[in-house]
Amino acid sequence: MAFSGLLRPAVLAASRSPRVERAITRIPATKKVVDRFIAGETEGDAVAATSALLGSGRSVTIDYLGEDTTDLDSARGTVVHYLRLLSALAELRAVNDAPVPQLEISLKLSALGQSLPQNGYAIAREHAYEICTAAKSAGVWVTVDAEDHTTTDATLAIVRELRLDFPWLGTVLQAYLKRTEEDCRTFAGPGSRIRLCKGAYREPASVAYQSRSAVDESYLRCLRVLMEGKGYPMIATHDPALIDAALRHVRESGRKSGDFEFQMLHGIRDTEQRRLAGVGHTLRVYVPYGDQWYGYFMRRLAERPANIAFFLRSFRDR
């Protein structure tokens, strides 16, 4: 309770602070911790990490890091990175009998221009359409990431539009938002792909549950809606209790291995990732890369006290 009530909000606030970013990114010991969560800075780094994960029996979704883009050139630069990545993944694509593609990319619409003051919605939609077109040719899935609550309506609207041409397109819903249970009902229809996560941004109590127990209870309610629906749930959690709950729903609903998947973050609970994959579940690893790692890194620190402890030990061990 002390962590979630005090330290976690402070870390999330720091994730939005340019001053704190400058201080932390200049500390040499930071790289030791960053390397645990981030695959590297280039497409080559991402592909190398992906190849190793595929070899271990896991699936992958790759995120080119960046968000809150404020100029069109940066948004176009993000598109170029994804197109290069997809070209490389087309050559890496495994040919096997897996029920779902092993390769996927994850997009943040704010990195594609959603936050631009003029025509941001249309620009992000067009950029996402271009990336989805390339992904389809490469045989790679796409999931649109969730960001803070102010972007949710626009993000889901763009997803609805894109799914008219790319019905396999997935999106993310965050259990800590009070609206998410109803969003799960809306998006649990045939062909839908929903990644359900707890949520990693600092949100006000007016729109988001604040306590860990309330978030967990919301996650369980949302999980039941998705498992009882007609879509493809993507269960994004490292929480053993929630994983066990998901497996109970699998048994009760009669879902097969190709009807859902687990997702975990690169560098977190590697042994559990291998265990789930080893018993026949689809386990997809979220692999981020790029030089704009600060915001993502700070959210990972905020998620668990163990991550903070690991960060602090890196200074002691210098």
> Any idea what DSSP says for residue 142?
E
What's phi and psi for 196, nearest 5 deg?
-100, 120
Q: Is 182 exposed, middle or buried (0-12, 13-18, 19+ CB in 10 A)?
A: exposed
Active site residue 251: no
Which pair of structure tokens corresponds to residue 171? Answer: 């999106």
Percentage helix, strand, coil, to 5, in the chain?
55, 15, 30
Give residue 295's identity as a one-letter amino acid code.
G
Distances (CA, A) of 250 to 18, 171, 229, 256, 265: 44, 21, 12, 8, 22
Give the CA dihedral 129, 132, 138, 142, nearest 10 degrees.
170
Instruction: Find the catalytic residue in 8, 63, 125, 145.
Output: 145
SS3 assignment, position 236: strand
Supply the DSSP string of 163-210, one letter for each residue: HTT-TT-EEEEETTBTTHHHHHHHT-STT-EEEEE---S---TTTB--
Alpha carbon 78 to its chain centroid, in Å, reads: 17
Residue 19: CB atoms within 10 A of its CB come to 8
Cβ–Cβ under 8 Å, residues 114 and 125: no
Taking every pair of Cα atoms in the chain, the longest distance, rounded to a whole number of angstroms, is 53
Cβ–Cβ under 8 Å, residues 282 and 262: yes
Active site residue 195: yes
Instruction: Find the catalytic residue in 195, 202, 284, 300.
Output: 195
Extended strands (E) in 9-140:
59-64, 103-107
Catalytic residues: 145, 195
